[in-house]
């Protein structure tokens, strides 16, 4: 037995000569001394190197998607890409709806002003006078008044209202009175008076009733300087006939923060007062039910 093992080991170590000859002239081109052990080591090394190369190609290249063992990982990545794509499409859709809502509310408040008949003259006044000067009636072309149902439908199209404290009934909100004064005319849906008129001293500051974002701050023909604020719980408040607007569109407002100065602007006014409206879920509500003036 020992002789057989010795003979096998000797055969592995036995040296052979590999001669390379020219086929036509039989001239010796080169010769190499080899043993079976050298051949085994060389072949084993080549096999290991080829295996490592194949592993790297499969692991770090797209070839792995064609290997059955890697299909799960590729599937997870494809599912993740699909989910991200769905979220992106949803955000784009919500952004488009929000922009449509803002433009609709602007048209509703300004009564869908179409054109400016006269071009503005050269700027000869300071910034404050230019911002709060009253345009003439000849500068504006106004369509028919939008119906209450149209206003409600526009408000219901708001897809991303301020979600802070959303879902609570209005009775559970702590409203700040926009101004302290006497209610001259109350809320009446039948008379199409969708808010309350409050009289207060000249230069009185108008305050926001809740936290929210200003989505409208501009001049309208009938109600003068108007500011609109989007609050939580799909609630909107309007402050009309102001002499000065203190906030711009896009501003975040805290409850009780001054947003305007009481005034007498617009054609539908008979003296300095605040016309205040409160809307909830696209419907006007009586502010005196929730606010003490």
* Domain boundary assignment for the chain: 2-60, 92-289
pLDDT in tens, 206-231: 999 999 999 899 998 888 999 999 99
pLDDT at res. 290: 92
pLDDT band for position 238 (cuts 50, 70, 90):
very high
Weakest-pLDDT range from 92-106, 157-171, 235-249? 157-171
Of all residues in the chain, what percent carry a pLDDT higher than 90?
A: 31
pLDDT band for position 75 (cuts 50, 70, 90):
low
Mean pLDDT of 102-118: 51
Nearest to 18 by CA among 5, 30, 26, 2: 30
Weakest-pLDDT range from 12-16, 145-149, 170-174, 192-196? 145-149
Mean pLDDT of 65-92: 74
- First-to-last alpha carbon distance for the chain, in angstroms, is 114
133 pLDDT more than 60: no
H/E element, 6: helix 2-13
Buried b (16+ CB within 10 A) or exposed e, 218-250: ebbbbbbbbbbbbbbbbbbbbbbbbbbbbbeee
Weakest-pLDDT range from 61-65, 91-95, 175-179? 61-65
| Planar angle of CA 182, 185, 186, nearest 5 degrees | 100
**Burial class (CB within 10 angstroms; exposed 0-12, middle 13-18, buried 19+) of 48:** exposed
Weakest-pLDDT range from 1-15, 83-97, 103-117, 187-201? 103-117
150 pLDDT more than 60: no
137 pLDDT more than 50: no
Question: 3-state class of 293 per DSSP?
Answer: coil
CATH 3.10.20.340 is the classification of domain 92-289: no
203 pLDDT more than 60: yes
275 pLDDT more than 70: yes
pLDDT at res. 104: 61
Yes or no: say if 286 and 293 are a contact pair by the CB < 8 Å rule: no
């Amino acid at each position: 037995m020992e002789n057989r093992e010795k003979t096998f080991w000797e055969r592995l170590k036995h040296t052979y000569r590999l001669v390379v000859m020219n086929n036509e002239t039989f001239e010796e081109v080169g010769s190499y001394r080899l043993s079976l052990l050298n051949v085994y080591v060389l072949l084993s090394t080549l096999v290991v190197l080829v295996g490592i190369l194949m592993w790297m190609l499969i692991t770090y290249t797209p070839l792995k998607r064609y290997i059955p063992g890697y299909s799960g990982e590729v599937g997870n990545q494809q599912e993740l890409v699909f989910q991200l794509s769905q979220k992106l499409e949803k955000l784009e859709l919500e952004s488009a709806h929000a922009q449509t809502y803002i433009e609709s509310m602007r048209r509703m408040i300004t009564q869908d002003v179409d054109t400016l008949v006269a071009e503005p003259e050269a700027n000869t006044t300071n910034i404050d006078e230019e911002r709060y000067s009253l345009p003439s009636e000849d500068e504006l072309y106004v369509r028919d008044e939008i119906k209450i149902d149209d206003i409600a439908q526009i408000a219901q199209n708001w897809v991303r209202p301020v979600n802070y404290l959303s879902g609570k009934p209005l009775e559970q909100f702590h409203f700040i009175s926009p101004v302290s004064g006497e209610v001259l005319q109350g809320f009446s849906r039948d008379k199409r008076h969708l808010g309350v008129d409050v009289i207060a001293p000249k230069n009185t500051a108008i305050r926001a009733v809740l936290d929210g974002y200003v989505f409208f701050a501009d001049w309208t023909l009938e109600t003068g300087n108007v500011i609109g604020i989007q609050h939580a719980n799909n609630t909107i408040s309007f402050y009309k006939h102001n002499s000065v607007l203190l906030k711009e569109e896009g501003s975040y407002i805290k409850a009780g923060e001054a947003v305007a100065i009481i005034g007498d602007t617009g054609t539908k006014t008979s003296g300095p007062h605040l016309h205040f409206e409160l809307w909830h879920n696209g419907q006007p509500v009586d502010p005196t039910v929730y606010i003490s003036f």
